[in-house]
Amino acid sequence: MADQKYRILIVDDDQDLLRLLSMRLTSAGYEVNVALSGEQAQGVMPTFRPHVVITDLRMNGMDGMALFGSIRSANTSLPVIILTAHGSIPDAVSATKQGVFSFLTKPFDGKELLLEIEKALSLTGAGFGRAEEDVKWRKDIICRSPVMEDLLNKAKLMAANDSNVLITGESGTGKELLAKAIHLASSRSSKPFVAVNCGAIPEELLESELFGHIKGSFTGAVQNYTGLFRSAQGGTLLLDEIGDMPVSLQVKLLRVIQEKQVRPVGSTKSVNVDVRIISATHRDLEKTIEDGNFRQDLYYRLNVVPMEMPPLSERRE
């Protein structure tokens, strides 16, 4: 139940669905307005001033992504939820990379939509006296430049969808600070944030550091070790300088991402893990792939949400 009259704009050319969603959201305590097209939504927004926009992807005239682009150019922090009956993983990944808050495939459960709306409102603060709380997640990042404000707006929106993030940028630009901010803005904020520099640990020890080991599995393994993935359980793991990870270990990391399980060194049993992965690098990973030093399939798994830290020369803080 919405505690305050948050305003939701629903955009769809299906009048029956508009009526159904409007009734559902109104009964949940929201103030609802509807539009039958992207063009009509543009006319409604200046006076209605929604806190969340829900739009169909496929519509005559201006489609959902075109409407999102229009909204984005005017208000980078307004969450947009896209609905589609033609959902696919490429569509969802593309929409997420461009900054869409979430992507739901029809038919969807009404409770699922309500949950996405609640996430959007909680993460944006919705402008109702939450100024102090709203900046806690980014307190370690001092910025006054528009380019960094845009990046932080995107970071906060992306914090909600739990997708893997790849942060690129020059050394010393604050990639770890951005990763920590994304963690603090997410639903995982009460769980651990664990960071590891993949380039600072010898290759023969990095697997054990990430996945753990059992006693006696190698010389020096005098006791069981949990590993960083399990230490970050429920939270976020930052794989800093991911471009320096040995190719042999990249294969094992890919398997962990796919199966959501780790197998400690020396063990025959896998352990379930629930971790959001944020990776960071100063390298051009696409070139590293061409050189044969980074797996393309792993790159696609890590680069669901790309974020580029601007050089310090472009940020007058």
pLDDT for res 315: 63
> Rounded to whole angstroms, how far apart are CA atoms 35 and 305?
30
pLDDT for res 236: 95
| Segments of the chain assigned to CATH 3.40.50.2300 | 7-124
Per-residue pLDDT, averaged over 199-223, amounts to 85
Q: Would you say 317 and 144 are in contact if contact means Cβ atoms under 8 Å apart? A: yes
127 confidence band (pLDDT: 50, 70, 90): very low
pLDDT for res 160: 77
Q: Which of 129-133, 160-164, 307-311 has the lowest mean pLDDT?
A: 129-133
99 confidence band (pLDDT: 50, 70, 90): confident
Architecture (CATH level 2) of domain 146-314: 3-Layer(aba) Sandwich (3.40)
Per-residue pLDDT, averaged over 201-230, amounts to 86
| Segments of the chain assigned to CATH 3.40.50.300 | 146-314
pLDDT for res 3: 46
Query: CA dist 261 to 47, 89, 207, Å?
Result: 49, 22, 14
Mean of the per-residue pLDDT values of the chain: 84
2 confidence band (pLDDT: 50, 70, 90): very low
pLDDT for res 1: 43
Which CATH fold would you assign to the domain 7-124? Rossmann fold (3.40.50)
Instruction: Tell me the CA end-to-end span of the chain in Å, nearest whole number.
Output: 41
Per-residue pLDDT, averaged over 117-136, amounts to 59
Residue 180: other Cβ atoms inside 10 A: 21
Q: What is the pLDDT of residues 243-280, one digit of tens each?
A: 999 999 999 999 999 999 999 988 889 999 999 999 99
Per-residue pLDDT, averaged over 167-179, amounts to 89
Evaluate if residue 239 carries a pLDDT over 70.
Answer: yes
> Rounded to whole angstroms, how far apart are CA atoms 187 and 185?
7
Say how far residue 96 (Cα) sits from the centre of its chain: 8
> Rounded to whole angstroms, how far apart are CA atoms 105 and 100?
14
pTM: 0.62
Evaluate if residue 128 carries a pLDDT over 50.
Answer: no
Task: Count Cβ atoms within 10 A of the Cβ of residue 35 and give its class: 0-12 exposed, 13-18 middle, 19 or more buried.
Answer: buried
> Rounded to whole angstroms, how far apart are CA atoms 295 and 256?
14
pLDDT for res 258: 95
pLDDT for res 132: 42
> Rounded to whole angstroms, how far apart are CA atoms 171 and 159?
23
